[in-house]
Chain A
Amino acid sequence: MSDDERGLGFMLVVVAGGLIFGFGLAVSNMARPEVVLDFLQFDDFGLVFVMGGAAVVTGTVFALAEAFGDRAPLTGRDYGRRLKSFDKNVVVGGVVFGAGWGISGICPGAAYASLGVGNYPILIAIGGMFVGAYLQGLWRARRADSAATGTAAD
């Protein structure tokens, strides 16, 4: 990786995109965990329009850029889609994430926006997310180590 992710133009575009993204999360009320919990409890299905509306925009823009675009002006990267490989972790991670989302009504992007609307208790959730990400990384590292020494001992 190079400095193309640190230039001024790159940062300005990230700021513009982040502002619009956060603004949208506040407009849609997804920054309020109560509204997400209302969806999960079938009291208000508005979230479908949030996720659907956002995916329609990204889907259209990704497809058009891939078909007609050349390279991104600020990095020279090819326009592609977000295609991650499938394995059982995609399901396991979905189960754990879903349990956390169902308990708290909050996900990472909405948590950052929640701070912006004044909801300071959300810092507990953001702190928890860092702890969770750290524990997962630690566990992966330990498992990789024990697998390596296990193989060596055999």
Chain B
Amino acid sequence: MSGLTPLLVDGLFPNGIEHYALGGLLIGLGTAVIYLGTGVIAGASTFLESTLSYVSDLPRFNKAKYVASRDWRVVFTLSIVAGAALYTVLFGDGWWVSDVQPWRFAVGGVLVGVGTRIGKGCTSGHGVCGVGSRSRTSLVNVATFMLVAIGVAQLLSALGVSP
């Protein structure tokens, strides 16, 4: 091994790229299976609103499209949990628990919940399905959340918040 290329690859991708690329292809494949079978483009965040229709009378959560899809969105979400568990049991190195501070999950979670609903999608809806659709709306949304997330994460890191 010589030259700049391996050095650059090691620097940018210290954990290699294979499992990232393979995981990405599988994420796309899961979306494609549902799409080819049903014609539905399933994002992950609509589950939040459609599930709220079980417990809230707010018209916002009880739109016909949410009530009609809320059952399968629960099934979709539970299947995502099960798929990740399946990988962990079959090929993983044991159950894993994050060290990220709980307040980051609490504050970040609320903002993610607000943001996906204002912005009409998340990393799967806009990032995977919207970008795959070459939607300009999604490209703008993804560019926006990427830049902001990078800025916020770098700022927290600079302030000594870790992990």
Contacts and interface: CB of A to CB of B under 8 A. Distances in A.
A20 B34 CA distance: 10
B160 to A, nearest CB: 13
Interface of B: 12-17, 19-45, 47-49, 51-52, 56, 58-61, 64-65, 67-69, 71-72, 75-88, 91-92, 94-100, 102, 104-125, 127-138, 140-154, 156-157, 163
Contacts, number: 540
A19 B149 CA distance: 28
15 contacts: A14-B75, A17-B30, A22-B86, A32-B98, A45-B12, A51-B131, A58-B28, A93-B118, A94-B142, A98-B146, A104-B109, A116-B81, A133-B45, A133-B49, A135-B113
B80 A116 contact: yes
A49 B22 CA distance: 9
Contact of B87 (A23, A54, A84, A98): A23
Chain B interface, DSSP helix/strand/loop, else mixed: helix
Nearest to A20: B30
B24 A136 contact: no
B22 A27 contact: yes
Contacts of A49: 17, 20-21, 24
Given A20-B83, A128-B109, A93 B153 contact: no
Interface in A108-148: 108-122, 124-138, 140-141
A133 B36 CA distance: 29
The A interface, classified by DSSP as helix, strand, loop or mixed, is: helix
Nearest to B143: A94
A109 B79 contact: no
A128 B144 contact: no
A77 B33 CA distance: 15
Contact of A61 (B36, B81, B154): B36
A93 B52 CA distance: 19
B52 A137 contact: yes
Interface string A35-52: 001001111111111111
Contacts of B83: 18-26, 113, 116
B129 A82 contact: yes
Contacts of A76: 39
